[in-house]
Structures are given as C-alpha cells and as structure tokens.
Copies of this chain bind each other. A is one copy, B any other.
Amino acid sequence: MITVLAGGVGAARFLRGLVLAVDPAEVTAVVNTGDDTVLHGLSISPDIDTVTYTVAGAIDPERGWGLADETWTAMANLTRYVGVRPAGSTAAPEWFNLGDRDLATHFYRTARLSEGATLSEVTEEIARAWGLAIRIVPMTDDRVRTMVDILEDDHVTTVGFQEYFVKRRHSVPVTAIRFDGADHARSTFIDAIGAAEAVIIAPSNPLVSIGPIRALHGVDATLAAHRDRVVAISPIVAGSALKGPADRMLTELGFEASVLGVARLYAPICGTLVIDEQDAEHRDAIEAIGVRCVVADTIMRTPEIAASLATTTLTAAREGARHDR
C-alpha cells in the first residue's frame, strides 16, 4: 500500500501520474481539509475535489480546479443580490466561483453530511461516482480550519484560508498560520502509515497543504518513527513555487524558499527528498542535514512525466524502507 499526503493541484497531478505507474487500488490519498469552508450553506472541500476531479480526468486543465466544460449560471445570477446585501453580511460573495456542474458535488456532500455521514464516507462515495480506483480520504473527519494572519494596511487580520487564498488572491503578506481544531481532530490514516510500503509527501505547499496534516495529533511522531520510508517531492523548484504562494509564504514565515528550506522543514519526518534537476547543485547540502536526495524532472507537464516522477519517488521510498526496520 502507498499513502500519499496531498494538498490540491500539485498533489492531484502527481496522483494522476502515480495511478499510471502502479495499481490504483494500492494507492490511498490523504487529503488536506484545512481549506474546507461553507459558502451558501454548502460544504466545500477544495483539495478533495481537485484530487478527485484530476484523477478522474475531469478537472479543468487551465484553471487547475473545478470541472472542464463548466458553466457559471448560478454565480452570474448571484450578483443580483450583492446590491441588497446589508453591510457586514458575507452572503453572495463575488470572490468565490462555483461552477454549475461542480455544484452537484457540493450538494451531494452537504446533504450526506447533514444526514450524519462522515466526510470519509462521503468522499469515498463521490470518488466511486467518478469511477476512481484509488482511495481518497480526508485527513480527518473532524473540523480543522486553516487560519491565516495577514498584514493589511499596516495591521494584522486573521482570515480563513479561502479569504486569504481566493479573496486576496494570496497577494498579501502572511505573518502566521494556525490550524484551528487540529489539536483535537482525529486523523483518519495514522494506523495506515506504519503498514504502508511507502509514504509520499506530494509536491504541495509544505505550510498550508501538508502543514494541517502534520498538525493532527500524533501524525508527525508517527511519520518520524517511519521516516526512512517517507519520501517528499519538493514543491519549490529553483527557489519558486510552480503554483501558488508557497515561496513567498516560506520567506514570510522565516523559512528559506528553496529545496534546502523544504528539506529542513521535512527532515524530522522524511528520509528522502526528491528535487528538480534545476536544483541538483543543492543535493550535498540536503544530504548534509540527514535527508537523502534524489534528483528528477519534477515539473509534471504531462501525466507521463508525472508517472515517471512517481516511479522515481517509489523507488526512493523502497530504498529508504530498507533502512526502516
């Protein structure tokens, strides 16, 4: 069994490659739910949907989120209500788009949760509806919310992740991150870590995608106990994030926006880091801090490149696992 700790777009692209390289039934994706939110009364799990839709081949390739061939009728009609919304109300948000096709997923999730189903159950049902052979599990069935302190107009405001990421288009400085509820949330996958042949940390934002997963009680300690079979893929290439604000966020929070910065963050829980060819020069520095280093093409321009990266990563995990006895 292969366990992949996953955020959104980068993780989804990696998983799409992984299922070409191995039997999908062997793969469990453990997905960040710190970004989950409620809008219009609907329970929205952005990273789970991105992973599900991408592995299903249904994701919109340009946007990287939501469904291909999408229409936006509901959202377009919501603008009618912006003018009558009282001051202080957050109804009819103009800044969060949900496509008409995508809405069906949120409707189903919301209805099932309100019936008392767990998010794990609903996520499994949705994955089945899309014909997926991999398992997709939320990191927890409990409520965890990533909260971001941002610097705006010279003072610090705390906002939910989507208000930072989507509403502010992640263009404001971040001064702190925390994961409300993580202390008491039960992870869904901790028992699987010890049994997994390989644990892969997908090329996702280390702070706000992998961070919430690590923040769950016992997860970091369990990963640390098996760190030789844990392999991460750096989401930072040549000092930049391929997508999203990981590079700026690392710098703003006192880390280094480089493969070495990523290696330092992951060193306690991860025996091997896969870095891009552009960063090959940093290999020795990474190994010097006790993290094995593998160089590969990590820019997943096609599913085939992602599959090749997956094979490289799995090989590294198996190498590492030989030390983990």
> Which A residues lie at the B interface, using CB under 8 A?
38-43, 71, 73-78, 80-81, 83-86, 89-92, 100-108, 110-112, 114-115, 117, 125-126, 128-130
CA distance A103 to B78 in the complex (A): 8
- Chain B, residue nearest A121 (CB): B86
Main SS at interface, chain A:
helix
A264 CB, min distance to chain B CBs, angstroms: 42
Whether the Cβ atoms of A104 and B39 lie closer than 8 Å is no
Whether the Cβ atoms of B104 and A78 lie closer than 8 Å is yes
Whether the Cβ atoms of B125 and A111 lie closer than 8 Å is no
Residue with the greatest number of chain B CB neighbours at <10 A, chosen from A100, A102, A129: A100
CA distance A105 to B24 in the complex (A): 41
**Chain copies in the assembled complex:** 2
CA distance A27 to B42 in the complex (A): 35
Q: A100-B73, A100-B100, A107-B92 are in contact. Are A129 and B40 (CB under 8 A)?
A: no
Whether the Cβ atoms of B103 and A91 lie closer than 8 Å is no
CA distance A105 to B130 in the complex (A): 29
The residues of B that contact A81 with a CB separation of less than 8 Å are 104-105, 108, 125-126, 129
Across the interface, A39 reaches (CB within 8 A) one of B43, B111, B112, B126, namely B111
A50 CB, min distance to chain B CBs, angstroms: 17
A76 CB, min distance to chain B CBs, angstroms: 8
Across the interface, A77 reaches (CB within 8 A) one of B76, B104, B110, namely B104
Q: A81-B129, A89-B115, A128-B84 are in contact. Are A107 and B43 (CB under 8 A)?
A: no
The residues of B that contact A80 with a CB separation of less than 8 Å are 104, 129-130
CA distance A312 to B236 in the complex (A): 76
CA distance A102 to B103 in the complex (A): 13
Whether the Cβ atoms of B78 and A107 lie closer than 8 Å is yes
Whether the Cβ atoms of A101 and B83 lie closer than 8 Å is no
A158 CB, min distance to chain B CBs, angstroms: 19
CA distance A23 to B71 in the complex (A): 40
Whether the Cβ atoms of B126 and A84 lie closer than 8 Å is yes
CA distance A101 to B103 in the complex (A): 12
Across the interface, A112 reaches (CB within 8 A) one of B91, B117, B126, namely B91
The residues of B that contact A76 with a CB separation of less than 8 Å are 104
Whether the Cβ atoms of B92 and A111 lie closer than 8 Å is yes
